[in-house]
Amino acid sequence: MVVTTGSDGITPHEGWSSRSAFILAAVGSAVGLGNMWRFPAEAGENGGGAFVLFYILCVVLIGLPVLLSEVLIGRHGQSNAPESVRRIAAESGKSSKWAILADFGVLGAFMVLSFYCVVGGWVLYYIGIFASDLVSTGLAGGAFEGRPAGEIEGLLPGLFGNGALMVGLHVAFLATTLFFVARGVSSGIEWVATWLMPTFFVLFLGITIYGASTGGFDETITYLFTFDFSKLTGPVMLAAVGQAFFSLSLGVAGMMTYGAYVGRDVNLASTSGIIASADTAVALIAGLCIFPIVFAAGLEANAGPGLMFQSLPIAFRDMPFGSLIGLLFFIMVFFAALTSSVSLLEAPTAWFKDRADLPRAVATTIVAGSALVLGALAAWFWGVPVPGVSSMALFEEQDLFNVLDTATSKVLMPVGAILTSVFVGWIASRRLIDSENGLSGGLEQIWLFLVRFACPAVLAVIMVVGLMG
């Protein structure tokens, strides 16, 4: 096991074996279903190029400053997220109650994990569907030969109607996540990052090249990179800011937790820049991967969340090697989803392990078991409004899955990120922050301005608009 020392300079602490291992793990945390599923859906629903341009701007001005803030809290505190905040507050002569900002993140990570693994189960379902189709139809032809589009589109609603299957797939995905997190930082989390992320990128680029050959690539370039500023409306801008925020896995204590495993020799500013750039590049390439296939099949780009799980399977029906490409595509998505779920499980595990003084394997099993129960309830009672809660305006007529999604995306994550910006920008010792951020001169002043003023203001607007519906 690779170890660093804790903030006291003595206590052994798990750590990454290298800067590149941290980058791969952090990119894996950020690159998940938010990139592969949500970004193309958001771009499709919000005017393409106008959304993409503003999204990139938001990553630079909002996402990257908060990302650096979270990582430096973890690196300086060298502990679980709440304890890292507590230590910085103590060194800065401030109240330990500021740890609540990381408590929000840990709770948010746990709640997201519970329903994220349900969606991970959907990915496993489509891997099984395409694998079975490949065996029955062979390599060369399209997927689902002879089956009408309506039947293919109905696969996902059919899964929603099978509670037992939904729960079983959720358990399988979460058990895989548990296996790697229980093994520790170097033997589990880092192994996932250093092996699965390169494999993900190979598959990603291969399928993107395949998509470019289908005949819809020119239309995709026009769609994604033609900037019609008349489409840059208030809702589109808010969608872009929200996507930039959620895509980088901010507000769920994951980057603080991963930052605690970073060595003192790593420049956090440049490393955070690499992470944000890689995450943004994956989101953009996801559009170049998915939309050519959709356009070539004559389907609409604005299918929303159904784009990946309903439109794409129909598109693969009419394409050469459709079953094989579909199988490889969902395996690729599985790798992206797993690296993110590992991060989501690690944040509450690190907190619980330290708080209860338990061995990692025991702490991981307890946290994962709790998330399993919550996610299983969300899967089993799919479409059933939660009694009492669903009568509230924010959760009107929502089932447990959507209640968890709404509570985390509209409350816990924005509040945690706002408090993080305020804490780093105004509360923590300036000397301490200067020693950790890896910036100097004008760049440091710009970053400090964004963290102090722009990030809290914009994130507050996102939260208020989200709460108002």
Segment holding 137, helix H or strand E: helix 100-137
More confident call, 22 vs 301: 22
Determine what percent of the chain is predicted with pLDDT higher than 90: 70
Residue 6 to residue 371: CA distance in whole angstroms: 29
Domains and CATH numbers, the chain: 3-467 (1.10.4160)
Rounded mean pLDDT of the chain? 91
Q: Tokens 């899964």 sit at which residue?
A: 159
Residues 316-323 have a mean pLDDT of 88
pLDDT-based confidence at residue 1 (cuts at 50, 70, 90): very low
258-268 per-position pLDDT tens digit: 999 999 999 99
pTM for this structure? 0.94
Percent of the chain having pLDDT more than 70? 97
As a whole number of angstroms, the longest Cα–Cα distance in the chain is: 70
Q: How far is CA 33 from the centre of its chain?
A: 6
What mean pLDDT do residues 120-130 have?
A: 97
Please give the pLDDT value at position 378: 98
Confidence of residue 469 (pLDDT cuts 50, 70, 90): low
User: Residue written as tokens 């490393």?
Assistant: 271
> What pLDDT, on a 0 to 100 scale, did the predictor assign at position 7?
46
User: Is residue 192 within 8 Å of 274, Cβ to Cβ?
Assistant: no
Compute the average pLDDT of residues 338-367: 97
**Span 303-332, average pLDDT:** 89
Residue 80: what residue type?
N
**Per-residue pLDDT at 100:** 96
The stretch 394-406 carries a mean pLDDT of 93
Residue 12 in this model has a pLDDT that exceeds 60: no
How is residue 104 written in tokens? 């929000």
Is residue 280 predicted with pLDDT exceeding 70?
A: yes
pLDDT bracket for residue 9 (50, 70, 90): very low
| Nearest Cα residue to 460 out of 232, 236, 233, 238 | 238
DSSP for residue 4: E
pLDDT tens digits for range 224-238: 888 877 877 877 887
Distances (CA, A) of 460 to 100, 241, 417, 420: 17, 11, 10, 12
Which amino acid appears at position 247 of this protein? S
pLDDT band at 8 (very low <50, low <70, confident <90, very high): very low
Residue 43 banded pLDDT, cuts 50, 70, 90 = confident
